Amino acid sequence: MVNTQLFASSRGRMVPAAEVRNEAGGAAYQRSAEAELALCAATGCFNGIFYSDAATQLSQVLAACRRVSPAYVARTALYARRTAYMKDMPALLLAYLAGCDGELLEKVFDRVIDNGRMLRNFVQILRSGVTGRKSLGTRPKRLVQRWLENASVDAVLSAAIGEKPSLADVIRMVHPKPADAERAALYAWLIGRPCDAAKLPAKVRELEAFKQQPGEAVPDLPFQYLTALPLQASHWKAIALRASWQTTRMNLNAFGRHGVFEDAALTQSIVERLRDAEAIRRARVFPYQLMAAFRSVSRDMPPAIAEALQDAMEVATRNVPKVDGNVVVAVDVSGSMGSALTGFRRGATSAVRCVDVAALLAACLKRVNPQTRIIPFAEAVRDCRVNPRDSVMTQAAQLAGLLGGGTAVSAALTELNRQRSEVDLLVLVSDNQSWVDTRTSGGSESMRQWAVLKSRCPQARMVCIDLQPYATSQTVQTQDVLHVGGFSDAVFDLLAGVATEGTETRSWVERIEAMAL
């Protein structure tokens, strides 16, 4: 008699065999080189994550770069910076281009290196030797010179905040040609050489005078130039009054400690700034950054500040699409999702975890689409009822509180099939490190359950949102299965495409390939 366990009948279409193992040891599918590089570009921060370390991630990215065309690397660098708002990854991709295609490097350099921090990142990565060279070389040196020579005084002063390398180090490396006496004095001041103080930009002269004798007027400079000085409450209020949106978000507790919120009018000004939709857009804020700011607000903070952060969240996630039909969001709450979203780095580890962002994405979808069903899962489905009238912050906290257990990405699909639920769109948010449901042969259990679901709901589509830069997945991308990675609101753009265009929507890789060089 035939072995019916080995040769069991299965419903639905044929499922491709899972031929690789993921980092957790489970059966999985290898991503294409293009998809792997795209995922790394949108999620990789070169810090230790649950199943991988920084060095492994670096090797993975460089290997993927070698397997794709230089043009795709250039487009991915643009995507990583302009759409996913990443910092280290786009700088690495430009450093790779510096060694293989200088013309492409020049085409995208100014669009990727859009501030001083990015410039310093690029120089540091290139000089580290990881991409095959340790010197800048003629073309990269010229591009760095051009950035410095074209940058405004404000941009140069902002770029001078930070080290390894410092902007002074960069100036010494590339020797930019000053256009006038003011810029010559500024370069000399930055690298610690004697200069004609009368020729320095007005803001620098004001800073030097303030250092000698702090007055009531605070120099209009990034606050990092000032915090080491003996500032009074009036100085902190002046800093808070003109702080940028991101500076405000990052220093709310510092403002509170130094008496800023004792001024009711100034407090209201800060509240309005935090709610400002255009300022939020310009700041390229991640929704998870707002979550972190909301959680870290001290109890002594005026309630209006916390409320403004919640309002800002609504603005930052307003491109969450309205989706017709039966929408299901499967949220991975297994133990590995407890790792820091941007990885572990000694002294600089984010308090925001992968599970927090997965829960945030689900809560945002439910807020816009109240009929959305949320299914948390680990080794099995977890019971959780989310009230759509609760704030996004409250819903996300409720879901994240379920963290723990092994991973079976197929659990939500299995439950939907068991209940014979009608599904039009399934959004699956996970790190894809499934192992509890691993089969000894054939396709992954997730693909098998998807095939069963498709046999019942032929119109169904699935979007898999990946939060960590792993090279494998539990599903194969097809016309009705789309993959996207990252934790900016860019993931909502693809969901919006699925909602409006259906199976005709362009895949994540296709969107990158369509970027103009």
**Closest Cα to residue 244, out of 352, 150, 313, 154?**
154
Which ranges of the chain have pLDDT less than 70?
1-13, 48, 50-51, 343-350, 489, 503
| Distance, CA of 498 to CA of 487 (rounded, Å) | 18
Residue 327 token pair = 């929408």
- The reported pLDDT for the residue numbered 2 is 47
| Distance, CA of 29 to CA of 16 (rounded, Å) | 9
Residue 180 token pair = 């006038």
Specify the pairing of strand 425-430 against strand 327-332: parallel
Report the run of H or E that residue 332 belongs to, with start and end.
strand 327-332
Q: Are 376 and 430 in contact (CB under 8 A)?
A: no
Q: Are 33 and 64 in contact (CB under 8 A)?
A: yes
Residue 391 token pair = 């704030």
| Distance, CA of 127 to CA of 25 (rounded, Å) | 36
Q: Judge residue 3's burial from the number of C-beta atoms within 10 Å of its C-beta, 0-12 exposed, 13-18 middle, 19 or more buried.
A: exposed
Q: Measure Cα distances from 381 to 249, 378, 418 in Å.
A: 36, 6, 12
**What's the first-to-final CA gap in the chain, in angstroms?**
62
| Distance, CA of 467 to CA of 508 (rounded, Å) | 14
- The reported pLDDT for the residue numbered 33 is 92
Angle between helices 138-150 and 167-174 (to 10 degrees): 120
Neighbour tally for 79: CB within 10 Å: 27
- The reported pLDDT for the residue numbered 505 is 75
Q: Per DSSP, which regions of 349-406 are E strands?
A: 373-377
Q: What are phi and psi of 431, to 5 degrees?
A: -95, 0
| Distance, CA of 373 to CA of 362 (rounded, Å) | 9
